[in-house]
Structure 1
């Protein structure tokens, strides 16, 4: 999180619950003036008080910087209505419940009341941005801006452009949204408008396979969680799936796919791109090329970083102690 800016910024967050409230905190702590609105003025006012109390707790626990609550008091305000919240706002983030029949009319109200130049984002997790764009006047200024839960502490944000027939997301819109998000200290990824986007397609694919393993009697819920967090999940804070595959060796990955494909032909068919790379001799970092273009001479540097990262992660976990789960 960062604070302060030489340029006044006026934003609005519509929906002040757990996600919307967290997003409002993030934006306000970056130095922007942020109005929050909800189904009523009373709900927005109650959310405002809750967010200040949460901030006090986060400061006490060293999760927010000292002085964060004062910054929120200066930059955050509850609005009496959606229309009041979006008046003068250059960026509006919709964060109401994940239901089209709620999000759609809310976005219609936002776009009718906001400045025609205002960028409008939706924090939807899975709903097509193109579908929601149908509720927005001048949809070229609309896109998905998907924060993750809990918004103050998860660094990644998906930016999703749409291709609605009445006006696709403009390059200027996505550039502006990216600047706004990065000013909060978050990291952005531009992804395509497909149901679930990237985060939830991957997350729910893992969950589906995990539940099948339980149903098949391969392992318990507790043991599956242990395997994930102590093996490949241990790597994921530092490397994504393509970097991990390149370091493991794409020829090894291809062999493992072929092995699993014998038992699970549909779920574990070898990806065509993997076969093409291996057939071309691109085996990952050991050959100097794979999914990522990491020169072979940088492999020792990468391995050294990886080893330091994993040791540092274990030290952090030892310091934090086990999670309060009944394992």
Structure 2
């Protein structure tokens, strides 16, 4: 691989995700070529990105001078071939339709420089599926930004069987310049982000279908309890601080109620059986000495206090003040938690408690 540092980029697909990625790259100092289905769509989306940039700058969401930087560094092109012809990285960000992505990637592969890195912003499709469109698979990988791209810092990097490790390194360096945090994950459907996110949504919907809680109350529980912690700690760190032995006992209760699908994972029971119960005895999934533990607790308490202050400052979201749309009801749907039937109105949701 001859690209040692990515300085020029093409984004193919300039809708909501691709446009946000392009803005982020431009604000990090790169010149970004834009291409979409046709020149008219590209020009229209380019104008939208400039308008958004001015609005975001005015609202304090982008730094001062951002609108001028975007005007200087975002370049609409007349065709895909023109956009990708002489750049270090091409990031494909068309809709999550395998056939469409494969078609666009074939065009990119044919028109891009032989040494250009080719990335896809797919959120679920494995590299091994999409790499079929790229002749030199060593230069291809998933670079998965999250929505909204200008504001979410995490990026998943997924290598295929043939991806050159040097390609991953040069993309990681670019993401660091952009102020992003990247994680390398294995090439499986959904990767990590959406595998976890989709499972949470599926279980949340099961909770509603079973009549345990309304959608509004599920959202309140998630956003004001374990979701409140997630900006600072992932599930392994949270479990360590709660006590892994406590989790094993909790899984026992869940298994009694819901069966084997909610039994304690083998990884967890093995750690507990080895005497590692989390921060309470110095080690679980993480190893912490006494000074590190004291530092962690101080950081945790400070972080949660600041999060509470931020939520108080922002106030409840518009969704917290809105009524829930009427949901389709199954014939076998259980009564709602408030005792109403599907034909009866529910009480308006109250504001979220930060």
TM (norm. structure 1) is 0.95
Aligned to 2:250: 256
Report the Cα distance in structure 2 between the residues aligned to 1:200 and 1:268, rounded to whole angstroms.
20
Match of 1:300?
Answer: 294
CA shift at 1:27, angstroms?
0.5
* Residue number in structure 2 paired with 1:3: none
Note closer, same or farther for the CA distance 1:293–1:8 as it changes in structure 2 (3 Å cut).
closer
> Does the 8 Å contact 1:289/1:296 carry over to 2?
no
Quote the offset at 1:8 in angstroms: 8.0
Cα deviation, residue 286, structure 1:
1.2
1:148/1:247 Cα in 2 relative to 1: closer, same or farther (>3 Å)?
same
User: Residue 115 of structure 1: which of 88, 108, 113 is its match?
Assistant: 113
Inter-partner Cα distance in structure 2 for 1:293 and 1:161: 29
- Which structure 1 segments of 5+ residues have no match? 1-6
Contact 1:34–1:77 under 8 Å retained in 2 = yes
The CA distance in 1 between the partners of 2:76 and 2:87, in whole Å, is 14
Change (3 A) 1:294 1:45: same
C-alpha RMSD over aligned residues:
1.0
**2:124, 2:190 within 8 Å by CA — same for their partners in 1?**
yes
Offset from partner CA, 1:92-123 (integer Å, 9 cap, x none): 00000100110001001101111111011000
Q: How many residues align?
A: 317
1:286 is paired with a residue whose SS is helix
Structure 2: distance between partners of 1:36 and 1:267: 46
- Partners of 2:83 and 2:287 lie apart in 1 by 46
Larger gyration radius, structure 1 or structure 2: 2
Q: CA deviation at 1:299?
A: 1.6
Does structure 1 retain, via aligned residues, the 8 Å contact 2:6–2:89? no
Q: Tell me which residue corresponds to 1:285.
A: 279
Q: Is the 8 A contact 1:143 1:160 kept in 2?
A: yes
Query: Residue 176 of structure 1: CA displacement?
Result: 1.1
Q: Alignment partner for residue 39 of structure 1, among 37, 40, 48?
A: 37
Q: Distance in 1 between matches of 2:152 and 2:97?
A: 23
Please report the TM-score for the alignment, with normalisation by the length of structure 2: 0.88
Deviation at 1:137, TM superposition (A): 1.5
Matches within 5 A, 1:135-214: 135-163=133-161, 168-214=162-208
| Alignment partner, residue 4 of structure 1 | none
Matches within 5 A, 1:1-327: 9-163=7-161, 168-325=162-319, 326=322, 327=349
Unmatched runs of 5 consecutive residues or more in structure 2 = 323-348, 350-354
- CA contact 2:6–2:170 (8 Å) conserved in 1: no
Q: Distance in 2 between matches of 1:266 and 1:277?
A: 19
